C-alpha cells in the first residue's frame, strides 16, 4: 500500500465541494413518464447482454495497519501476551504491564521458556504477605468488558523455588473488581491454566487484567483474555462486532495479510505464513535477531507500520500471528468469501524499505517459492500431505477455497520481474506433476504503486513484461503467467470522477496482441487490490461510487476490486481514510462503507446495454487563487505577481511594502507570519502536522475564479528541513493543488493535490530531484493554461503536466441483471441537486413496483464519526408506479439502486 494520487478536475471538484445547493434530502421517488422530459434520460436494452460480470468483483482487503489485527479484529484483549516486545516499546518486554502490590518482575529469555518460538517469559517474585503480581492494560484505549458477558482467561505458568500456591485472576477497573477467579495451585512445570470470568458490570476505561500470587515466585507466559462471545463463537476468534461488519458487506473475496506487512521493512521482518499457523502458543511471532541483556535470542519484530524511529512508541505495532493464515481462510469462509492470500516474493518493501532481497537463481530464493507451493498444499492437500495434515490438525478437514495467490506487493522493476517469473516456472512444473492440487490456481503480479495515468511508469513496465513472456511462450494462455495484474491507487475524488472510463476498451484493450499500445495496457484480467478516494466524506464516497459504475461496466476485465484500508482506529492511526472505524467498544462504518455495501449487495452477473443522455458536464479550465507555504521550514517571500496569460494584464501583485498587505492573505496554518523590510516572513520552522497535515504552513491570496494565469514570486529558505509549498488553483484549504519544492526531506520537486480535505502523494510524471539551499533567492513561476501546468525555478522547467479531464457528469450509471433476471439500475448523483431521470426499461414485462436501495446525504461533507449517530446509511424501500417508462428523482448526493423484477 502506498499513498498514490493523480490530478483531476478542480473546477468540477470545487462545484461539488464548495457550492452546495440547500434543501431537504429526498428519499427518492418514481412516477409515470413526465410530460416535460427531464434533463436526464436513461434507456435500457434488457435483451442486449454485453458480457458477463465477474462473480468476484466486490470484496475486501485486510492489512494489519491501524491495529486492524492485534488490537482490532483479533479478539485477544491482552497486549504483549508473550513478552516478546522489543526496544521500540516502552518498557520493552514488559510493555503493556504494571506491577500490582509489592511484586518484583523480570522478563527473561534464557532458553528455559515455554518453547523456542516464544523464548521470553515473565518472572514474578512476591516477598510480601499480600497477593502481588502484574496487571495488563490491553491495546490502545484499553480493555472493554460488558455486563453479564463471559471472558476466557488462560496462561502458561510454573511455580518457582518450590511455589505451588494459588494464582489469583481478576478483571478490575481501578480498585473495583468486575470479575475474578482462582487457580488453586500451580505446579513446578509449564502448564496451561484456564478460567471463565463473568463480568458483573460494564467498563471501557481503565480496565486491567490482574494476575497475582501469594508469597513466592512464579513464571508466566501467554497471558490471554478473550471474550467468549467471539464471531461465530470460535475460540482464538474474531471480535464479533467488527467481523459482523465484514459479513454485512457480503464480500466475494478477502485479500490478506497485506499490503506492506507482506514485504517488511527488510526480509527479516517480512510476513511468514508458516509461522502464523499451528497451536497458538507454538506460533512464532514476527521475529528478528537481537539480544536481551547478554543473551542472544529471537524476539518479536515490529509491524512495518510501527514508528521505526521511535525508541518509546506509546502504541508499538507488533504482530503476534494469533490472527494467522488459518484464521484468515476461516474468516473468509465464515463471511462467504474466498481467501486471496499474498506472499513475499523475496524482496522487501521498495517504498518504505530499500527493496533489497534475494534473486532468482539464488539458493535462498527457493524458500520463497516453496512457501507459495506449500500454501497450495495447506489449502488443498489431504491428510497424506505435510501441509494438508497441518490444516486438518487445526480443525479444518475440508480444503479451503483457493483460486488466486498474489506474489509480492507493489514491487516493480527487473529484480521483481525475474523473481516473479521463477514462481511462474515453479507453478508450471507443479501443475504438470501434481495437477490434482495445482490445477486452477493462478498467480497475480504487481504493477507497482503507479496508476498508469501518464502512460508510462511502473504500470507500463509491468504490461511490457507480460507481453515479453507471452511472445517467448507462443501459444500459451496469459493466465499461466498471471491470473490478474494487481493495480493499486489512492487518488483525489476528482480523479475518480474524471476516470470513469479508465478500463473502457478504448483505454484498456481486451486483446493480448496489443498489450502495450493502449494507455493502461491490456489483455490481462485486473485485480484492483487497493483503491480509495482519500477522504471519508460523502463527496469521496460518491466519487468512488461513480468509479465503481465503471468497474462494473468493465466487469469482464476487472476480476476483483477492494477498497483499502479496511480498519482504522482513533487512538493510533497509521493511515486514513479507512472503511470501518473502531475503538475498544464501538464500531462505526464510514460513508464509503455503505457505498461498497450497496454495490456488493446488488452485484449483477451480466452487463446490459444502456445509454444515458443529459448528464455530462463540460470540463472547465483549472481555476483558483494562489498561495504561499512551507513544511517544517521558515522562509521569506516577495514580489508576488499574477498575470492573465491571454491579455498580459496583471491580475494582482504584492511587494509587501505595507503591513496591511498581510490582511489580504488568508492564513490557515500555525505559522508565524509577518511583514518586515518589504518581505512576507514565515519564521516558524515547525509545522503542526496533526492540525495542518494536508496544507502545511500556508496562506492563500486572490480570486477563486482565476484561470489561464501565470503566478510568479521570489522565495528564500531561512531555516528548516525542506523547501517551499506553492499552492495554486485554490478553491479553499481543502481543495487545491500545490507545487512541493524540496519535499521529502529536501530531495524532490513534485505536484500534489488536496481534494475534499485529503492530500495526495507525489504525482507520477511530476517528480524531479530538487534540494533548496538556505539563504538563496529563487524565482518561482507556475503557469496554468487550460488543463496544462508548468512550473519553473529560475526559468528552468521542473514540471510540465496535463490534467486528464476525462468525461465528468452530474450522474453516473450502470445497468446489469442477475441470475433471477432482475434489471439492476445503479445511479450515482454527485451533485447538490435532486435530479429527475426518465427511464425507459425497454420492456413492458416488468412488475409495477421495484426495490430501492439508497445511500444519500444532505451535504458533500457528510461524514460518519465514530461514536456518533451515523449521518449516512443504507436504506431500503419500495418504489411504486414502475412501468416501461417512468421517472425517478435521484436525491442529491446519492447512490440509488433500483431493482426491477421482470414478469
Nearest residue to 75 via CA among 257, 234, 299: 234
For cell 510454573, the residue is 158
Spatial contact of 251 and 600, defined as CB atoms under 8 Å apart: yes
Pairing status of strand 758-759 against strand 748-755: antiparallel
> Exposed, middle or buried: residue 175 (CB in 10 Å: 0-12, 13-18, 19+)?
exposed
Is residue 414 within 8 Å of residue 268, measured between CB atoms? no
| Beta pairing, strands 558-563 & 526-532 | parallel
Q: Which three cell numbers stand for residue 573?
A: 492511526
- What is the Cα–Cα distance from 694 to 275, expressed in whole angstroms? 39
Using alpha carbons, list the distances in angstroms from residue 378 to 143, 430, 437: 35, 15, 10
Residue 569: beta bridge partners?
Answer: 582
| Whether 410 is catalytic | yes
> Which residues are within 8 A (CB) of 624 and not within 5 positions of it... i.e. 6 or more apart?
10, 14, 704, 706, 728, 729, 730, 731, 736, 737
**Which is nearest to 445 in space by CA: 490, 488, 469, 409?**
409
* CA of residue 484 relative to chain centroid, distance: 20
CA distance 478 to 525: 9
Could you say which of 76, 281, 410, 530 is catalytic? 410
174/881 Cα distance (integer angstroms): 62
Q: In sequence order, which ranges of 211-342 are alpha helices (DSSP H)?
A: 240-247, 260-263, 325-334
Q: What is the distance between the alpha carbons of residues 422 and 72, in angstroms, rounded to a whole number?
A: 36
Residues 718 and 286: their CA atoms lie apart, in Å, by: 44
Residues 6+ apart with CB under 8 A from 468: none
> CA geometry: angle at 56 spanning 422 and 807, to 5°?
100
User: What stretches of 671-785 show up as alpha helix (H) in DSSP?
Assistant: 689-692, 743-746
**DSSP states along 795-819:** TEEEEEEE------BSEEEEEEE-T
CA distances for 188 relative to 103, 159, 192, 205, 220, angstroms: 19, 5, 12, 36, 12
**H, E, C per residue of 557-582:** CEEEEEECCCEEECCCCCCCCCCEEE
- How far does CA 305 lie from the centroid of its chain? 12
Return the biggest CA–CA distance within the chain. Answer: 94
* φ/ψ (deg, to 5) at 44: -110, 140
Is residue 758 within 8 Å of 577, Cβ to Cβ?
A: yes
Give dist(CA 810, CA 805) in Å, integer. 14
3-state helix, strand, coil in the chain (%, to 5): 20, 35, 45
Any residues with CB less than 8 A from the CB of 891 and at least 6 apart, and which? 25, 26, 27, 28, 829, 834, 854, 856
Report how far residue 721's alpha carbon sits from residue 737's, in angstroms, rounded to the nearest whole number: 22
CA of 791: how far to CAs of 621, 703, 730, 767, in Å? 17, 20, 16, 12
Give the start-end residues of each E strand in 457-508: 484-490
Chain-centre distance for alpha carbon 195: 37
For the four alpha carbons of 105, 106, 110 and 114, in that order, the dihedral sign comes to: positive
- Dihedral sign computed on CA atoms, order 469, 474, 478, 481: negative
Q: What are the catalytic residues? A: 410
Amino acid at each position: 500500500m502506498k499513498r498514490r494520487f493523480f490530478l483531476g478536475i478542480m473546477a468540477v471538484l470545487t462545484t461539488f465541494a464548495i457550492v452546495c445547493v440547500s434543501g431537504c434530502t429526498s428519499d427518492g421517488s418514481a412516477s409515470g413518464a413526465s410530460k416535460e422530459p427531464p434533463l436526464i434520460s436513461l434507456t435500457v436494452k434488457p435483451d442486449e447482454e454485453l458480457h458477463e460480470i465477474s462473480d468476484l468483483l466486490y470484496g475486501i482487503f485486510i492489512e494489519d495497519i491501524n491495529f486492524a489485527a492485534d488490537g482490532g479484529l483479533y479478539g485477544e484483549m491482552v497486549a504483549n501476551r508473550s513478552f516478546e516486545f522489543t526496544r521500540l516499546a516502552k518498557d520493552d518486554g514488559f510493555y503493556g504491564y504494571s506491577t500490582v502490590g509489592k511484586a518484583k518482575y523480570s522478563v527473561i529469555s534464557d532458553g528455559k521458556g515455554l518453547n523456542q518460538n516464544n523464548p521470553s517469559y515473565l518472572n514474578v517474585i512476591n516477598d510480601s504477605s499480600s497477593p502481588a503480581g502484574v496487571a495488563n492494560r490491553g491495546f490502545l484505549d484499553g480493555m472493554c468488558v460488558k455486563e453479564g458477558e463471559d471472558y476466557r482467561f488462560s496462561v502458561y505458568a510454573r511455580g518457582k523455588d518450590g511455589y505451588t500456591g494459588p494464582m489469583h485472576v481478576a478483571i478490575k477497573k481501578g480498585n473495583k473488581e468486575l470479575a475474578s477467579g482462582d487457580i488453586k495451585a500451580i505446579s513446578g512445570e509449564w502448564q496451561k491454566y484456564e478460567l471463565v470470568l463473568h463480568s458483573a458490570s460494564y467498563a471501557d476505561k481503565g480496565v486491567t487484567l490482574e494476575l497475582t500470587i501469594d508469597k513466592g515466585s512464579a513464571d508466566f507466559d501467554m497471558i490471554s483474555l478473550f471474550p467468549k462471545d467471539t464471531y461465530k463463537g470460535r475460540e482464538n476468534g474474531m471480535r464479533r462486532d467488527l467481523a459482523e461488519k465484514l459479513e454485512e458487506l457480503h464480500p466475494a473475496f478477502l485479500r490478506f495479510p497485506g499490503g506492506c506487512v507482506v514485504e517488511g521493512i527488510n526480509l527479516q521482518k517480512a510476513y511468514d505464513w508458516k509461522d502464523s499457523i499451528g497451536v497458538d502458543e507454538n506460533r512464532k511471532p514476527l521475529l528478528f535477531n537481537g539480544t536481551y541483556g547478554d543473551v542472544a535470542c529471537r524476539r518479536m519484530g515490529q509491524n512495518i507500520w510501527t514508528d521505526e524511529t521511535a525508541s518509546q512508541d506509546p502504541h508499538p505495532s507488533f504482530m503476534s500471528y494469533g490472527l494467522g493464515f488459518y484464521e484468515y481462510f476461516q474468516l473468509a469462509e465464515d463471511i462467504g468469501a474466498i481467501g486471496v492470500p499474498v506472499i513475499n516474493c523475496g524482496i522487501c518493501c521498495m517504498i518504505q524499505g530499500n527493496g533489497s532481497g534475494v534473486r532468482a537463481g539464488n539458493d535462498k530464493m527457493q524458500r520463497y517459492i516453496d512457501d507459495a507451493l506449500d500454501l497450495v498444499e495447506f489449502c488443498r492437500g489431504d491428510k497424506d500431505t505435510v501441509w494438508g495434515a497441518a490444516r486438518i490438525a487445526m480443525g479444518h478437514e475440508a480444503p479451503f477455497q483457493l483460486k488466486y495467490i498474489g506474489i509480492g506487493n507493489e514491487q516493480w522493476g527487473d529484480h521483481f520481474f525475474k523473481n516473479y517469473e521463477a514462481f511462474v516456472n515453479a507453478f508450471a512444473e507443479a501443475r504438470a506433476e501434481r495437477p490434482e492440487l495445482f490445477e486452477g490456481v493462478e498467480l497475480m503480479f504487481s504493477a507497482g504503486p503507479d496508476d498508469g495515468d501518464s502512460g508510462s511508469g511502473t504500470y507500463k513496465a509491468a504490461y511490457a513484461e507480460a507481453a515479453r513472456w507471452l511472445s517467448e511462450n507462443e501459444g500459451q494462455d496469459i493466465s499461466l503467467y498471471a491470473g490478474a495484474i494487481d493495480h493499486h491507487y489512492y487518488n483525489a475524488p476528482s480523479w475518480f470522477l474524471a476516470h470513469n472510463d479508465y478500463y473502457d476498451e478504448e483505454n484498456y484493450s481486451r486483446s493480448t496482441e496489443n498489450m502495450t499500445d493502449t494507455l493502461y495496457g491490456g489483455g490481462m484480467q485486473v485485480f484492483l487490490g487497493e483503491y480509495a478516494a482519500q477522504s471519508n466524506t460523502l463527496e469521496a464516497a460518491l466519487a468512488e461510487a461513480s468509479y465503481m459504475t465503471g468497474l462494473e461496466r468493465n466487469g469482464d476485465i476487472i476480476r476483483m476490486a477492494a477498497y483499502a484500508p479496511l480498519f482504522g482506529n482513533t487512538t493510533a492511526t497509521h493511515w486514513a481514510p479507512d472503511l470501518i472505524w473502531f475503538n475498544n467498544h464501538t464500531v462505526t462504518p464510514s460513508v464509503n462503507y455503505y457505498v461498497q455495501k450497496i454495490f456488493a449487495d446488488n452485484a449483477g452477473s451480466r452487463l446490459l446495454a444502456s445509454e444515458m443522455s443529459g448528464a455530462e458536464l463540460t470540463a472547465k479550465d483549472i481555476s483558483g487563487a494562489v498561495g504561499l507555504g512551507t513544511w517544517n521550514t521558515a522562509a521569506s517571500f516577495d514580489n508576488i505577481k499574477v498575470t492573465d496569460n491571454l491579455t498580459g494584464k496583471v491580475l494582482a501583485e504584492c511587494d509587501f511594502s505595507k503591513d496591511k498587505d498581510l490582511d489580504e492573505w488568508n492564513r490557515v496554518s500555525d505559522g508565524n507570519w509577518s511583514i518586515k523590510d518589504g518581505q512576507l516572513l514565515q519564521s516558524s520552522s515547525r509545522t503542526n502536522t496533526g492540525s495542518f497535515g494536508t496544507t502545511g504552513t500556508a496562506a492563500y491570496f486572490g480570486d477563486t475564479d482565476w484561470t489561464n494565469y501565470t503566478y510568479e514570486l521570489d522565495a528564500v529558505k531561512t531555516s528548516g528541513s525542506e523547501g517551499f509549498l506553492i499552492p495554486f488553483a485554490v478553491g479553499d484549504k481543502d481543495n487545491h493543488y500545490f507545487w512541493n519544492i524540496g519535499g521529502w526531506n529536501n530531495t524532490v520537486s513534485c505536484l500534489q493535490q488536496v481534494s475534499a480535505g485529503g492530500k495526495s502523494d507525489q504525482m507520477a510524471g511530476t517528480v524531479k530531484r530538487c534540494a533548496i539551499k538556505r539563504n538563496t533567492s529563487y524565482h518561482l513561476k507556475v503557469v496554468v493554461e487550460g488543463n496544462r501546468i508548468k512550473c519553473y525555478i529560475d526559468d528552468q522547467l521542473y514540471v510540465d503536466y496535463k490534467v486528464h479531464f476525462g468525461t465528468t457528469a452530474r450522474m453516473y450509471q450502470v445497468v446489469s441483471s442477475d441470475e433471477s433476471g432482475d434489471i439492476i439500475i445503479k445511479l450515482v448523483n454527485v451533485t447538490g441537486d435532486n435530479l429527475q431521470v426518465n427511464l425507459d426499461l425497454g420492456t413492458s414485462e416488468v412488475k409495477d413496483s421495484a426495490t430501492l436501495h439508497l445511500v444519500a446525504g444532505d451535504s458533500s461533507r457528510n461524514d460518519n464519526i465514530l461514536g456518533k449517530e451515523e449521518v449516512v446509511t443504507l436504506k431500503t424501500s419500495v418504489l411504486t408506479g414502475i412501468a416501461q417508462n417512468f421517472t425517478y428523482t435521484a436525491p442529491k448526493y446519492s447512490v440509488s439502486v433500483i431493482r426491477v423484477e421482470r414478469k
